[in-house]
């Protein structure tokens, strides 16, 4: 008589062999293994851990997989996004400069590779309309076309789906819905950061991301938020370099693309098109030697920065000394070489931000602020002349702090010395005073007066007066 263990092995082996062949054992759509029951019971003795347990037949597993795929498609929101494919995406953009064109092409290639081999996490971040949702949807549509399950969902809508399961009329339980999301073979969370930041919402998102992080399940996240603005627990999962790759898209809103779109309506650079390095006057015949050498040094610093803009550059000096001309020359130099630059006078910038609160505004505050703080090169002219309201100070600090931490190229002009500015704006000046990231240069030349020394003009007036007296 065979031993119990040998009998179990033989019965279990027979069970596996039959179920593995079940797709070919059907007659008139009835599985010949389970006879249409869908489940099997192992032939094991009483007391065995598997005694009396139901196990799905292979035909049932196929049915469950098909239902799961159908449920994921129903839960996904790809109806209107089915047109967003890699074929319909424009990786060169429209009217982009060389820098942004290359950046968008890299994001496109990375998304395409992820669609073919979904491993790890892909974080797509960028401003409104930059193409991140299109790329995420293209990945989803590509995999669905190849019969692979994907769950694509906008984060606020996902939370609404979870809340809806608590309704008495819900046909699916919370546990079922939550399990569908957190175990999806590929999960795409669109617009993370736009959800209501309630403790419940934050907890649910953390549970989803933490589970997928530990299980290392393929996940895509799109967001227009800076990662430091996202809840710390979520962020710790998104920035793990062993699992996640962060791709920042620099392209502006595609819906406003067109020729010359890189010239923002915020920018007043067009008013300074004549201010170039070629037209800058070093005032050799007007200034004393010390002031002339100082101005030459400022010119050299500005020219070097224009060729390789890294970190921050601050010019201080009196009105008319040439600091705005040099700042505009930097911006014009970069634009002439196909790179973008945003030149804006600080009081005007704050007015633009305030204008977004008007019901008639065609652009939101978030869009406008995002455009400024993530500009490839930002020139802030006349810092210190803005109104010193609490709101204005807070907005400028948020802008400064972000660009400081991200080490984004920034040029600032101001009339006050850094020491004077520090007394009235300690938080803002704390970023400028980090000389490891910021070059501060004080222009000591006086206001430009047409190429003639002020003392010479005064001498001419005295001489003319003496001649008139002699007459």
CB within 8 A of 271, min separation 6: which ones? none
Q: How many CB atoms are closer than 10 A to CB 313?
A: 24
Would you give the end-to-end CA distance of the chain in angstroms?
A: 146
The answer to whether residue 464 sits within a structural domain is no
The answer to whether residue 457 sits within a structural domain is no
The answer to whether residue 200 sits within a structural domain is yes
Residue 291 has pLDDT above 70, yes or no: yes
The answer to whether residue 463 sits within a structural domain is no
Select the more confidently predicted residue: 226 or 235.
235
The answer to whether residue 458 sits within a structural domain is no
* Residue among 265, 269, 261 at smallest CA distance from 328: 269
pLDDT at 220: 97
Q: Are residues 297 and 368 in the same domain?
A: yes
pLDDT tens digit sequence for 342-373: 999 999 999 999 998 988 888 888 888 988 98
Angle at which helices 323-336 and 289-307 cross, to 10° = 30
304 confidence band (pLDDT: 50, 70, 90) = very high
Q: Are residues 130 and 220 in the same domain?
A: yes
What are the tokens at 266? 């915020």
Q: Are residues 302 and 339 in the same domain?
A: yes
DSSP calls for 8-32: HHHHHHHHHHHHHHGGGSEETTEET
The answer to whether residue 452 sits within a structural domain is no
The answer to whether residue 454 sits within a structural domain is no
Which helix (H) or strand (E) segment holds residue 245: the answer is: strand 244-249
Number of domains in the chain: 3
Q: Are residues 80 and 55 in the same domain?
A: no
The answer to whether residue 332 sits within a structural domain is yes
Q: What is the dihedral of CA 60, 62, 68, 73, to 10 degrees?
A: -140
d(CA 330, CA 378): 10
Give the CATH number for residue 163. Answer: 3.40.50.300
Q: Are residues 102 and 38 in the same domain?
A: no
Alpha helix locations (H) across 83-198?
98-116, 132-145, 155-164, 174-182
Q: Are residues 44 and 82 in the same domain?
A: no
pLDDT tens digit sequence for 38-52: 777 787 788 788 777
Would you say the C-alpha torsion 441, 447, 453, 458 has a positive or negative sign? Answer: negative
Q: Which of 104-108, 109-113, 151-155, 456-460 has the lowest mean pLDDT?
A: 456-460
430 confidence band (pLDDT: 50, 70, 90) = confident
Q: Which domain holds residue 291?
A: 269-442
Residue 202 has pLDDT above 60, yes or no: yes
Residue 386 has pLDDT above 50, yes or no: yes
Residue 298 has pLDDT above 60, yes or no: yes
């Amino acid at each position: 008589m065979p031993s119990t263990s040998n009998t179990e092995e033989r019965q279990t082996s027979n069970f596996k062999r039959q179920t593995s062949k079940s797709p070919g054992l059907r007659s008139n759509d009835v599985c010949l293994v389970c006879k249409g029951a869908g489940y099997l019971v192992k032939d094991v003795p009483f007391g065995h851990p598997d005694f009396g347990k139901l196990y799905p037949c292979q035909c049932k597993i196929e049915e469950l997989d098909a239902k799961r795929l159908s449920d994921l498609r129903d839960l996904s929101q790809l109806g209107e996004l089915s047109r967003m494919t890699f074929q319909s995406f424009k990786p060169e953009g429209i009217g982009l400069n060389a820098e942004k064109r290359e950046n968008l092409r890299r994001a496109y290639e990375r998304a395409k590779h992820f669609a073919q081999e979904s491993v790890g996490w892909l974080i797509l971040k960028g401003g409104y309309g930059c193409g991140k949702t299109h790329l995420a949807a293209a990945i989803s549509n590509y995999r669905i076309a190849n019969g692979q399950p994907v769950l694509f969902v906008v984060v606020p809508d996902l939370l609404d789906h979870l809340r809806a399961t608590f309704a008495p009329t819900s046909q699916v339980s919370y546990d079922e819905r939550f399990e569908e999301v957190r175990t999806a073979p590929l999960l795409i969370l669109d617009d993370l950061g736009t959800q209501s930041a309630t403790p419940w919402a934050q907890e649910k998102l953390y549970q989803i991301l933490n589970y997928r992080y530990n299980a290392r399940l393929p996940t895509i996240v799109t967001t227009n938020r800076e990662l430091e603005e996202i809840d710390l627990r979520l962020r710790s999962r998104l920035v793990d370099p062993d699992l996640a790759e962060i791709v920042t898209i620099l392209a502006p809103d595609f819906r406003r693309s067109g020729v010359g779109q890189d010239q923002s309506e915020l920018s007043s650079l067009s008013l300074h098109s004549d201010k170039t390095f070629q037209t800058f006057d070093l005032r050799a015949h007007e200034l004393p030697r010390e002031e002339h050498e100082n101005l030459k040094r400022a010119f050299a610093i500005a020219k070097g920065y224009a060729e390789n803009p890294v970190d921050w550059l601050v010019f201080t000096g009196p009105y008319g000394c040439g600091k705005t001309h040099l700042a505009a020359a930097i911006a014009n130099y970069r634009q002439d070489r196909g790179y973008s630059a945003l030149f804006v006078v600080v009081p005007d910038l704050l007015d633009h931000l305030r204008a977004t609160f008007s019901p008639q505004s065609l652009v939101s505050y978030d869009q406008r602020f995002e455009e400024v703080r993530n500009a490839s090169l930002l020139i802030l002219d006349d810092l210190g002349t803005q109104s010193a309201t609490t709101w204005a100070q807070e907005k400028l600090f948020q802008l400064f702090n972000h660009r400081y931490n991200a080490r984004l190229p920034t040029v600032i002009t101001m009339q006050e010395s850094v020491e004077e500015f520090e007394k009235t704006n300690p938080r803002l000046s704390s970023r400028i005073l980090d000389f490891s990231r910021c070059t501060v240069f004080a222009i000591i030349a006086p206001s430009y007066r047409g190429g003639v020394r002020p003392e010479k003009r005064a001498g001419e007036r005295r001489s003319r007066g003496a001649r008139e007296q002699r007459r």
